[in-house]
Amino acid sequence: MEEIPVYLFTGFMDSGKTSLIAETLFENGFGRDAKTLVVLCEDGDVELDEGRLKKIGANLVTLDDVTEITRETFHRLHEMYRPDQVFIEYNGTWELAPLLELDAPDGWTIVQVLTTVDATTYEMYLNNMRTMMLEQFIISDVVIFNRCGDATPKAKFRRSVKAKNRKAQIVYERADGSLDESYEEELPYDMSADFLEISDADYGIFYLDIMDHPKQYVGKTIKFLALIYRPKGKLKSDVFVPGRFAMTCCAEDIQFIGIKCKYEQAEQLSHRSWAWVTARVAYEFAMEYKGKGPVLHATEVKQAEKPDDELVYFS
């Protein structure tokens, strides 16, 4: 069965989804030599030129309500247009579940999810519609912050995305459409030092950075307060996972974030106990990463008291 690639564009209204689709189809040539079906789920300020779409063999369909996101709707569209590829501009206020759980037509496969964000309104949406906003990042392959300026807090924006989806690629565009590549994460500790003591306040930032740039930490010794993950029968005798529970967006969205650690006396550690962990960082193959990633080699694991606040935050 031939795969029919589906490109999904998410983001709130006026975040630039339609403009990105137009650029992809008309300027980047994705519409050439392929029957394209474009499904729009909202009407923004920017409209696609149906005349230009026809010239490249593309058909445009508009869905006005989330109740139209059904198996019957998409199978009917498949029969009508027999597309080679599908572009879906999804409504940012609709839940993603109806689309993601859809019994799609044969061959339809979501191959890329792109999320557009207006940098000038992002913090407002984050404060007022946080769960709805962050839900879009969970499945996104690329998050594009457009309309960035010199004062845009790119590090803060990046952490809010990475807290939900560590693998997402993040792109910053300035108001004129050019790429803004001036971003550089400002870490709250001195990366030139060989020994890093990671505070509770910095653990979330540290975790994201070591996962993104593990090679920069190789050979360094780190020390942090950790909750020990070592349930019986789940890990090898010399392995445990020190980490912390982190709140990503709300009290209902808490997850454990830890790093694989090798330690000769791991079997003596109690599951869900607290300890100060001192370890050397290596970059090694690990099944948990399905490839290479940061692996700690503990030199000391010292019992500790539970902290007043067990949670850490990505801020």
pLDDT digits (tens, 9 = 90+) for 143-201: 999 999 989 988 888 888 888 887 889 999 998 888 887 766 678 899 999 999 999 98
- What is the pLDDT of the chain when averaged over all its residues? 91
- 9-23, 52-66, 95-109, 120-134: least confidently modelled range: 120-134
pLDDT computed for residue 45 by the predictor = 72
**pLDDT for position 2:** 83
Measured distance CA(100)–CA(136) in Å, rounded? 12
- Cα(288)–Cα(306) distance, rounded to whole angstroms? 27
Stretch 226-247: mean pLDDT, rounded? 94
Residue 75 has pLDDT above 80, yes or no: yes
* H or E stretch covering 291: strand 291-303
Could you tell me the pLDDT band of residue 273, with boundaries at 50, 70 and 90?
very high
Measured distance CA(303)–CA(140) in Å, rounded: 39
Residue ranges of domains in the chain, CATH in brackets:
4-174 (3.40.50.300), 195-313 (2.40.50.140)
| Percent share of the chain, pLDDT over 90 | 65
Place of tokens 């997402």: 168
In terms of phi and psi (left: phi > 0; alpha: psi -120 to 50; beta: otherwise), the region of 73 is alpha
Q: Tell me how far apart the alpha carbons of residues 262 and 298 are, in angstroms, rounded to a whole number.
A: 6
Q: What are phi and psi of 292, to 5 degrees?
A: -85, 150
DSSP alpha helices (H): ranges in 57-176? Answer: 71-81, 97-100, 122-128, 130-138, 154-162
26: phi > 0 → left, psi -120 to 50 → alpha, else beta; which? alpha
Cα–Cα distance for residue pair 196/224, rounded to 1 Å: 9
Q: How far is CA 282 from the centre of its chain?
A: 25
pLDDT of res. 128: 86
Per-residue pLDDT tens for 14-53? 899 999 999 999 887 776 778 999 999 988 777 888 889 9
- Residue 111's φ and ψ, nearest 5 degrees, are -105, -20
Q: Among residues of the chain, what percentage have pLDDT more than 70?
A: 96
DSSP 41-79: -S--SS---HHHHHHTTEEEEE--SGGG-SHHHHHHHHH
Paired sense of beta strands 239-247 and 254-258, if any: antiparallel
pLDDT digits (tens, 9 = 90+) for 116-153: 999 999 999 888 888 888 888 989 999 999 999 989 98
Q: How far apart are CA 214 and CA 281, in angstroms?
A: 9
